[in-house]
């Protein structure tokens, strides 16, 4: 099964405007809005390549059914599970409770949910036979405030490299288009992100 999730509430970007302006050697405020937009785009490009959430955000994953094994949560690290619901075979909305019906393994950047039903990760509840019956909302991203998941220091450099590339080559970049932007990922940024990149997409 291929796992997907989308951001429903975005947090602050990990690189500040002042940091980006220092990196770009830009003074004054005339380009602040443009640079701010580049920071956001560069962060998303780097996140997409690395398979991680560098900025803390609330994400939602919707599935048509439970998988045969553990559920992998995309774009970790995952700080918390905010909501885990499914529609049972009778059409009722059911909330799953942590440490009662499932176990949250968030000890690495690739977070997993494991069913505790009958002690088997493959024994998830039976759902209604329709699409979108399993919905998980969770908070993901590195968090320097609590220090539980501090942002790897090289990540900021990768984002700043990408901002610089997009700032200097404006006609070659398509800001906001994820598929195109990844192909334009700065070579230095790519090399830096290879030190933290994870692979969570998998077929079961």
- The answer, yes or no, to whether residue 204 has pLDDT greater than 50, is no
Give the pLDDT of residue 118: 58
pTM (2 d.p.) = 0.85
Residue 182 is predicted with a pLDDT of 44
pLDDT single digits (tens) 79-105: 999 999 999 999 999 999 999 889 999
* 95 or 182: which leads in pLDDT: 95
On the question of pLDDT at 173 being above 70, the answer is no
pLDDT at 183 over 90: no
- At residue 35, does pLDDT exceed 70? yes
Reduced 3-state DSSP string for 58-79: EEEEEECCCCCCCEEECCECEE
Confidence of residue 140 (pLDDT cuts 50, 70, 90): very high
pLDDT tens-digit readout, 64-79: 999 888 999 999 999 9
Cα dihedral 58→138→157→196 (10° resolution)? -160
Query: Torsion angle of alpha carbons 38, 2, 200, 136, nearest 10°?
Result: 80
- What are residue 83's phi and psi, to 5 degrees? -160, 135
Q: State whether residue 107 is helix, strand or coil.
A: coil
**Mean pLDDT taken over the chain:** 87
Q: How does residue 178 score in pLDDT terms, banded at 50, 70 and 90? A: very low
Angle at 168 between CA 164 and CA 45, to 5 degrees: 50
């Amino acid at each position: 099964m291929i796992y997907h999730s989308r951001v429903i509430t975005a947090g602050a970007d990990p690189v500040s405007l002042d940091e980006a302006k220092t990196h770009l050697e830009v003074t004054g405020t005339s380009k602040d809005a443009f640079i701010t937009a580049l920071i956001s785009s560069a962060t998303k490009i780097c996140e997409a390549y690395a398979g991680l959430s560098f900025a803390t955000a609330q994400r939602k994953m919707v599935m048509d059914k439970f998988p045969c094994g553990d559920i992998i949560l995309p774009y970790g690290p995952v700080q918390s599970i905010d909501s885990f619901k499914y529609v049972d075979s009778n059409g009722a909305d059911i909330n799953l409770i942590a440490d009662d019906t499932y176990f949250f393994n968030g000890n690495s950047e690739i977070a997993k949910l494991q069913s505790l039903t009958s002690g088997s990760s493959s024994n998830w509840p039976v759902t209604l036979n329709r699409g979108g019956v399993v919905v998980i909302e969770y908070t993901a991203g590195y968090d320097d405030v609590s220090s539980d998941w501090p942002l790897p220091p090289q990540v900021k450099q990768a984002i700043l490299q990408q901002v610089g590339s997009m700032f200097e080559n404006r006609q070659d970049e398509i800001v906001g288009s994820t598929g195109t932007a990844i192909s334009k990922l700065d070579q230095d940024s790519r090399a830096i992100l290879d030190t933290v990149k994870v692979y969570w997409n998998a077929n079961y």
